[in-house]
Amino acid sequence: MPELSPILVRTPRLAVNVWAGGPPDGRPVLLVHGNLVTGGWWRDVAALLPDDVRVVAPDLRGFGRTEPKPVDATRGLGDMSDDLHGLLEVLGFTGRDDVVAAGWSMGGGVLQQHLLAHPGDLAAVVLVAPLSPYGFGGTRGDDGAHCTDDDAGTGGGGAAPPFLERLRAGDRTADDPSTARSVYRAFFGAGARVNEVDEDFLVDEMLLTAVGDDSYPGDSRVSEHWPGFAPGRRGVLNAMAPTWYDVSALPELETKPALTWVHGTADQVVSDASMFDLAMLGQLGAVPGWPGAKAMPPQPMAAQTRALLRRYAAAGGTTREVALEGVGHGIPVADPRAVADAVRAHLS
């Protein structure tokens, strides 16, 4: 596969920067990135795909070089899903039954919502450490029951102010735990492949994130419940809050694309003990005043995904789980072959 190159594609919704590679008439493979990164993060995965596929890895709105239009969080990740649909239409990929997609983290959440909003677009999906079907934070149990009536502790208010300050400033250093480079290394870096990736490129792509109430992280509102805030209606983190995001209806799809779930056993971002879940941090004593596990337990994110896939399979869908021992959240850079192999399996 030739190296991915950025191209600008104008759609009726917005101008999209797309990292593309392979022959224009090749079988389409759509790669959807996660929060705080760009489509360029898929370079190592794309390099391992067959040379007869057409890879398209767009920058989602608010990230990279795509037009930074506002995110309406009340639609969940619907703005991003509709953006993808518009891109697929312009590229001529809709109306065919062979598009394989992979989505990482938030991108996995986008694709799950896409399956509901645009059935028929995708033939198969690889969910790489995906967002829980019940959003990020604030829910309990396999069925995603809400811990509070306003989903306190989730959404835009959960972003750390020092991190936002360093992100706005374009800080490329690692002299503080709050910089993009430090967060990359600690939570979604290349792991054992640290000497095989271009860290400067990856960090520079992170620093292209649009920061504000309409983008990352979004707005918030005051809550009477711990820790004192609840999701707002705008921006990226609110779009993943359980108030607005719920794809638990996936097993009800009439036509069910095959789903593969790839996740790492050492994931600290999307897991049953996420270090980005305020309830988990409260349990550890890092956020004072935690009301206890009875009121607000850490969200069992992986267990919720596993339960959904079981229901999907029981309803006639095809699913597969691939657990990567010792791998963290940054699977596209830490173990790109695992993702490429999962995509190849659907292509064949």
Cβ atoms of residues 73 and 239 within 8 Å: yes
Work out the average pLDDT over 73-102: 97
The reported pLDDT for the residue numbered 144 is 98
Burial 52-84 (b: 16+ CB within 10 A, else e): ebbbbbbbbbbbbbbbbbbbbbebbbbbbbbbb
CB atoms within 10 A of CB 318: 13
Q: Is 80 exceeded by the pLDDT of residue 28? A: yes
The reported pLDDT for the residue numbered 297 is 98
Give the percent of the chain with pLDDT over 90. 98
**CATH number of domain containing 171:** 3.40.50.1820
The reported pLDDT for the residue numbered 335 is 98
Give the pLDDT confidence of 29-57 residue by residue, as tens digits: 999 999 999 999 999 999 999 999 999 99
Establish how many alpha carbons lie within 13 A of residue 245's alpha carbon, considering only the half-sphere containing its beta carbon.
39
Q: Which residue range forms the structural domain that includes residue 273?
A: 5-347
Give the chain's mean pLDDT. 97
The reported pLDDT for the residue numbered 295 is 97
Residue 272 amino acid letter: D
Cβ atoms of residues 122 and 86 within 8 Å: no
Give the pLDDT confidence of 214-273 residue by residue, as tens digits: 999 999 999 999 999 999 999 999 999 999 999 999 999 999 999 999 999 999 999 999
Q: Is 90 exceeded by the pLDDT of residue 134? A: yes
Report the predicted TM-score, pTM, of the whole model to 2 decimal places. 0.98
Helix segments in the chain, DSSP class H: 43-46, 78-90, 106-117, 161-169, 180-187, 199-206, 236-239, 278-283, 301-314, 331-334, 336-347
Work out the average pLDDT over 263-286: 98
Nearest alpha-carbon partner for 122 in 260, 323, 325, 275: 260
The reported pLDDT for the residue numbered 1 is 66
Work out the average pLDDT over 98-103: 98
The reported pLDDT for the residue numbered 348 is 86
Tell me the pLDDT band of 181, cut-offs 50, 70 and 90.
very high
Establish how many alpha carbons lie within 13 A of residue 83's alpha carbon, considering only the half-sphere containing its beta carbon.
29
Tokens of 134: 């019940």
Q: How many structural domains does the chain have?
A: 1
Tell me the pLDDT band of 140, cut-offs 50, 70 and 90.
very high
The reported pLDDT for the residue numbered 3 is 86
Give the pLDDT confidence of 2-24 residue by residue, as tens digits: 689 999 999 999 999 999 999 99
CA 172 vs CA 132, 159, 200, 211: distances in Å: 30, 19, 8, 16
The reported pLDDT for the residue numbered 267 is 98
Work out the average pLDDT over 342-346: 98
Residues 6+ apart with CB under 8 A from 180: 36, 163, 166, 167, 171, 172, 203, 206, 207
